[in-house]
Amino acid sequence: MKIRRILALACAATLGLGALALGIAYHQTESGISAHHDRVRADSLTAKAPPPLEGLEALPTPVQRYLRYAFPQGVPAATHVEMQMQGNFRRPGTESFAPTSASQTAATRTPAMAFDATTPIVPGIWARAYDAYANGQMEMKARILSAITVVDEHSSPELNRISLRRWLLESPTYPQALLPGGVVRWEPVDDRTARAVATDRGMTTSLLARFGDDGRLASFQAEEDGDLTTPYHGSGEHVARSDYRLVQGIRVPMGFTISRMAKGRIMPFWEGRITSIRFALPS
């Protein structure tokens, strides 16, 4: 009897210590994620205010239409944007999708953003993933149960460039980033297409933007194939945007499908919609 009691107490203690360790790891993960979002908010305050909506005549024609479409009431002086998303996500190297919730903070006039997501692996087991980019440096992690690290990527020239492209790819949700005089410049392609080129801290990346007849930015697409062997999706190489709505005087797309692209194939990995979005104005 005494031995059984000792064994039971030992098992309970082991389980308790395991639960405590998971609790500590969860707290550390969430604290780190919050710190990245706060860093982006702080960086956004140091960027210059967006220019007024004027002098568009020098831009490619479809870009002029888009910026007038996105800012029907002028350009609000927002410093950053906060959004929540719901949808379905496909992990790298897999084919099935899982319901996923995510949050994102992005600076409107300087390349800085933080993204975090939660997605189930199997019943009762989830993955917590985040990536953050500010001051030209990125960090990316994924943890099972918010504790067991399965992806741990740090700043490198290639990952920093991919993160700059990620900020550009997401910019239709904060179109102040696409105004002239900032990080992005535009090059003409044809009546429905233009090239957006982002330059920051010696890095340059670009995407082709395709526009609808009404002016909306329908998609962004890389001009080179993605590397599908990496343990992360990175920025993806293609995004389709839909369901534009007026939010605080700005037209932003609420629906999205973000995809990898290689060898002529477009392979979605994150599709859903923005469930809430708020532009932060300077105090």
Tens of pLDDT, residue by residue over 91-127, are 888 899 999 999 999 999 999 999 999 988 888 888 8
- For residue 114, is it within any domain? yes
The pLDDT score that the predictor gives to residue 18 is 44
- Chain position carrying tokens 């990346």: 205
- Its domain, for residue 171, covers 12-280
The pLDDT score that the predictor gives to residue 27 is 62
| Four-residue CA torsion sign, 108, 110, 111, 112 | negative
Question: Per the structure block, which two tokens stand in for 281?
Answer: 């104005």
Report the number of distinct structural domains present in the chain: 1
Contact 150, 183 (CB under 8 A): no
> DSSP for 96-146?
--EEEEEEEEEESSSS-EEEEEEEEEETTEEEEEEEEEETTEEEEEEEETT
Residue scoring higher pLDDT (126 or 85): 85
- Secondary structure class of 162 (helix, strand, coil): helix
Average pLDDT over residues 18-40: 74
Tens of pLDDT, residue by residue over 250-274, are 999 999 999 999 999 999 999 999 9
Distance from C-alpha of 29 to C-alpha of 8, rounded to nearest angstrom: 31
Q: Name 278's Cβ contacts closer than 8 Å, sequence gap at least 6.
A: 81, 82, 83, 247, 248
Contact 168, 203 (CB under 8 A): no
Distance from C-alpha of 273 to C-alpha of 110, rounded to nearest angstrom: 24
Alpha helices (runs of H) in the chain, residue ranges in sequence order = 2-44, 61-70, 157-169
What's the N-to-C CA distance of the chain in angstroms?
A: 68
On the question of pLDDT at 50 being above 80, the answer is no
The pLDDT score that the predictor gives to residue 127 is 87
The pLDDT score that the predictor gives to residue 35 is 93
The pLDDT score that the predictor gives to residue 13 is 36
Q: What is the mean pLDDT of the chain?
A: 88
> DSSP for 195-237?
EEEEEETTEEEEEEEEE-TTS-EEEEE-SS---TTSSS-TT-S
On the question of pLDDT at 62 being above 90, the answer is yes
Using a pLDDT cut of 90, give the percent of the chain over it.
66
Average pLDDT over residues 184-202: 96
- For residue 19, is it within any domain? yes
- For residue 89, is it within any domain? yes
Question: Per the structure block, which two tokens stand in for 258?
Answer: 């973000």
- For residue 3, is it within any domain? no
- For residue 154, is it within any domain? yes
Instruction: Identify the CATH number of the domain in which residue 224 sits.
Output: 2.50.20
- For residue 4, is it within any domain? no
Average pLDDT over residues 146-156: 82
Average pLDDT over residues 162-172: 97
- Secondary structure class of 92 (helix, strand, coil): coil
- For residue 121, is it within any domain? yes
The pLDDT score that the predictor gives to residue 257 is 98
- Secondary structure class of 179 (helix, strand, coil): coil
Q: How far is CA 127 from the centre of its chain?
A: 17
**Residue 123 CB burial class (10 angstroms; 0-12, 13-18, ≥19):** exposed
Contact 82, 281 (CB under 8 A): no
- For residue 5, is it within any domain? no
Q: What is the pTM of this model?
A: 0.88
On the question of pLDDT at 158 being above 50, the answer is yes
Contact 153, 137 (CB under 8 A): no
